[in-house]
């Protein structure tokens, strides 16, 4: 498994190489690739929204023939309980996708809580530097924006380490370029993203 496309408003790429694996998500990708080694036939995939978790789950389902329940923390607990038992009975892997794992995700049904505790947790962590850079290149490219290496180098260390912040930064720059017809550049990014509250306002001494 090599790369992941985030579930944006743009058509996702139905290819496995759209999932970008870096250290922040490599363990999650590895655990889903090796589902046969799970201690039980059910696992949790947790991570923030817009992190690509749903696409990673679809890749897992296509590879393993397993089932996926997205937004599992919002599903009826009895449904999850029966799905867990069914997965063990037929030896077909089940992946539950959620924001957080128990106990941060409160589970009222004791039998379900104990069953969920028996499975592995594949966690997508906040993006590291490598992923931020790769996402910027990917997202700019999908919008047809000419993002030069110097812009990526300038942007990457200034953005908050969250998938959503990267997406919103690209969205803001895309909109600014569309409205002003200006070329995508470091000065444009500095002004636009500071006004949007996505980076700190530039210091007087900061170079263009």
Please give the model's pTM, rounded to 2 decimal places.
0.83
What mean pLDDT, rounded, does the chain reach? 89
Tally the C-alpha atoms within 13 A of residue 181's C-alpha that lie toward its C-beta.
Answer: 0
* Structure tokens given for 63: 């590879």
* Mean pLDDT, residues 48-63 taken together: 92
Identify the domain containing residue 39 by its residue range: 3-123
Tell me, yes or no, whether 35 lies in a domain.
Answer: yes
Total count of domains within the chain: 2
Q: Between 131 and 7, name the one with better pLDDT.
A: 131
Tell me, yes or no, whether 60 lies in a domain.
Answer: yes
- For 35-52, the pLDDT digits (tens) are 999 999 999 999 998 999
E strands present in the chain: 3-4, 17-19, 42-46, 67-69, 94-98, 121-123
- For 85-129, the pLDDT digits (tens) are 999 999 999 999 999 999 999 999 999 999 999 999 999 999 999
* Structure tokens given for 30: 């590895």
CATH assignment at residue 68 = 3.40.50.300
Report helix angle 53-64 to 26-33, nearest 10: 20
């Amino acid at each position: 498994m090599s790369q992941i496309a985030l579930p944006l408003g743009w058509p996702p790429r139905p290819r496995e190489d759209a999932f970008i694996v870096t250290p922040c998500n490599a363990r999650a990708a590895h655990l889903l690739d090796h589902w046969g080694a799970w201690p039980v036939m059910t696992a949790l995939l947790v991570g923030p929204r817009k992190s690509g978790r749903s696409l990673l789950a679809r890749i897992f389902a296509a590879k393993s023939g397993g089932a996926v329940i997205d937004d599992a923390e919002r599903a009826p607990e009895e449904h999850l309980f029966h799905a867990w038992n069914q997965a063990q009975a037929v030896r077909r892997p089940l992946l539950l996708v959620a924001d957080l794992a128990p106990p941060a995700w409160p589970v009222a049904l004791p039998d379900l809580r104990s069953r969920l505790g028996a499975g592995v947790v594949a966690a997508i962590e906040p993006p590291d530097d490598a992923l931020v850079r790769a996402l910027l290149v990917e997202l700019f490219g999908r919008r047809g924006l000419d993002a030069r290496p110097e812009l990526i180098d300038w942007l990457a260390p200034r953005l908050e380490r969250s998938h959503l912040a990267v997406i919103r930064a690209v969205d803001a720059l895309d909109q600014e370029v569309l409205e002003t017809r200006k070329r995508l550049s470091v000065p444009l990014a500095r002004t636009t993203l500071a006004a949007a509250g996505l980076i700190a306002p530039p210091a007087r001494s900061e170079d263009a």
